[in-house]
Amino acid sequence: MIGIISAMQEEIQALLNELKNVTTTEKGMRTYYSGKLFNKKVVLVFSRWGKVASAATTTQLINDFNVEEIIFTGVAGAINKDLNIGDVVIGKNLFQHDLNASPFYKKFEIPILKKEFLETKNSQKIINSTNLFIDSYNKYIKDSEAAVFNITAPKIVFGDIASGDQFISSIKKIKKLNKALPTAICVEMEGAAVAQICYEYNIPFSIIRIISDKANDNATIDFSRFANTIASNYALGILKNYFA
């Protein structure tokens, strides 16, 4: 069984539409949809936003659904100028950018765990499937949808991600993040929390993020439009190749 998490209903909708033999379980104000996606046994859930919500959902998936792997798919804001809306970031190292327990621990260090970031281990297969997806991108994304966001040739980047309980929508904030975490290329609100729980339970995980906005003044508008339209088609295309 593979657990698939997104933060929002919109980000998981295309996957839900494809899910076969669905049974649902309600727990802790979440709905877990079990079934078959492209012939693989999966459980889908949207965790809701933020580190607490996604950590709780991840723990539930591990303890109650016996998942042997977790994939998080969702959108992110770019904080690296080479990334564009529609590009895909596969998480390499996951940081909690709003974690600072100094002077007891170094900035960003996860107390007790003694780690400043968590590293993904099984991402190669996800990267390969994402490459395949880019080849067949037009099958999943309509030209008219891509045109709205000016997406021409999306790229896939294996890079570091900064997670925190903040929606980033200012250049000032981006500059601060760039300075504090120079290797991080995008921001979101869940990945590093999922990574921490998976690390603690020794469950392989991958974080897939599609760039929905550039974390700037326009982020709120870009993010909403992207998440409501094409985000989950991306997830569908990537997972289809991953499960093939």
The catalytic residues are 11, 213
User: C-beta of 21: minimal distance to ligand ADE in Å?
Assistant: 32
- Which amino acid is residue 180, in one-letter code? A
Task: Write out the DSSP string of 162-231.
Answer: EE-SS----HHHHHHHHHH-TTEEEEESSHHHHHHHHHHHT--EEEEEEEEE-SSTTHHHHHHHHHHHTH
Q: Does the footprint of ligand ADE cover residue 120 (CB under 6 A)?
A: no
**Per-residue binding letters, 179-218, with ligand ADE (x by CB under 6 A):** --------xxx----------------------xx-x---
Residue 215 or 239 with smaller CB distance to ligand ADE: 215
Q: Does the footprint of ligand ADE cover residue 89 (CB under 6 A)?
A: no
Give the CA distances from residue 26 to residues 29, 51, 232, in Å, rounded to whole numbers and listed in that order. 7, 20, 22
Contact 114, 90 (CB under 8 A): no
Q: Does the footprint of ligand ADE cover residue 76 (CB under 6 A)?
A: yes
User: C-beta of 187: minimal distance to ligand ADE in Å?
Assistant: 5
**Contacts with 175 (C-beta within 8 Å, 6 or more apart), sequence order:** none
Q: Which stretch binds ligand ADE (CB under 6 A): 75-83, 132-140, 152-160, 196-204?
A: 75-83
User: C-beta of 219: minimal distance to ligand ADE in Å?
Assistant: 4
**Contacts with 114 (C-beta within 8 Å, 6 or more apart), sequence order:** none
Give the interface with ligand ADE as residue ranges (CB under 6 A): 75-77, 167-169, 187-189, 212-213, 215, 219, 223
